[in-house]
Amino acid sequence: MSVEIRAIELTGRQLEALPSDERVFFVQMAHLVNTIMILQKWLIFCQLRAPSQKIESEAATTQQMLVTRLLSGVLYEGWRVVQDSYFKALLSKKYDAKLTDDGKKCLIILKKYFGHANSIQKVRNKCAFHFDKDIVMAELGHVEQDKPFHLYLSELQGNSLYYLSEELVGLALLRSVQGDTPEGEIVEVLRQLFDELVRICKAFAGFIGACLVLVVRENLPSIKWDHLTPISVSDAPPLDEVRIPFFVSKPNVAAERVRKPGRSRIP
């Protein structure tokens, strides 16, 4: 399956033609939305449908929880960038009224969501970029004496999975979002968190996409949609069919022979 992409080529001279605040905002927002979209795809790719073994389900959960923490942190920090480079820089006064209807709706969603305490903020503050000793100690205090935990070891270190830690940190994350969560409700709390992440990702993408087009249109009027170069990207798989596996086998011998010096490998 192929998808069509439109390419915009901007020269350094054209970037220089943008007002200073717009130039910085343009680069920041493009970088932010790239990061958000990649992490959102990873969140979907790490899902494992109908795992054949419990260990596969636990590996998929480990990957999903990692992406959940990272994405929460990026979204929270992204909103701080919008506040600083869009609102405080007064670009909002220039562009708010000119946004598309969808761009306006997406901005309203973001302002409403981040205008009060929210799950993304709680995850970011406790778990996103931190290996917090206090939350680990607190979670260990909740451990039931007869509850089993698992560590999986492999000759190929990249296949070792220390699920004990992921389970405890994951439970700590859930407590940060919704207090004490009964075990039977964990899946539902996670589903609600994933839904929130996807909704806010969509709002960021809609707002930033509208902003980037608007900045170009307002400051570089010579660039027209009809003049953009079409590019066909072949072999683009359906989004819901891509998976990122946790467990991998060793590279085959032929691949090892052509491996370039210095290329990284899983120990």
C-alpha separations of 195 from 42, 143, 150 in Å: 15, 28, 28
Q: Tens place of pLDDT for every residue, the chain, 267 residues?
A: 889 998 988 899 999 999 999 999 999 999 999 999 999 999 999 886 666 788 998 999 899 989 999 999 999 999 999 999 999 999 999 999 999 999 999 999 999 999 999 999 988 887 777 777 888 888 899 888 899 999 999 999 999 999 999 888 888 888 777 776 666 667 787 888 899 999 999 999 999 999 999 999 999 888 887 778 899 999 899 998 899 999 999 887 655 555 555 555 555
CA dist., res. 237 & res. 232, Å (int): 14
In the DSSP assignment, the letter for residue 84 is I
In a domain, 241, yes or no: yes
pLDDT of residue 266: 54
Q: How many structural domains compose the chain?
A: 1
Please state whether beta strands 3-7 and 229-233 pair in parallel, antiparallel, or not at all (unpaired): antiparallel
In a domain, 229, yes or no: yes
pLDDT of residue 216: 92
pLDDT of residue 48: 67
CB 149 within 8 A of CB 167: yes
124: containing domain: 19-258
In a domain, 8, yes or no: no
In a domain, 169, yes or no: yes
The dihedral through the CA atoms of 105, 110, 115, 118 has a sign that is positive
Amino acid at 182: P
pLDDT of residue 146: 92
Widest pairwise Cα distance in the chain: 70
How many other β-carbons are positioned within 10 Å of the β-carbon of residue 171?
18
CB 210 within 8 A of CB 100: yes
In a domain, 135, yes or no: yes
In the DSSP assignment, the letter for residue 5 is E
For 231, list phi and psi in degrees, rounded to 5: -130, 130
β-bridge mates for residue 184, sequence order: none
Using alpha carbons only, how large is the chain's radius of gyration in Å? Answer: 22
pLDDT of residue 223: 85
How many other β-carbons are positioned within 10 Å of the β-carbon of residue 141?
7
pLDDT of residue 262: 57
pLDDT of residue 130: 72
CA dist., res. 220 & res. 204, Å (int): 23
CA dist., res. 23 & res. 27, Å (int): 6
In a domain, 125, yes or no: yes
In a domain, 265, yes or no: no
Q: What angle do CA 96, 201, 123 make, to 5 degrees?
A: 115
In a domain, 87, yes or no: yes
How many CA atoms lie less than 13 Å away from 122 in the CB half-sphere? Answer: 17
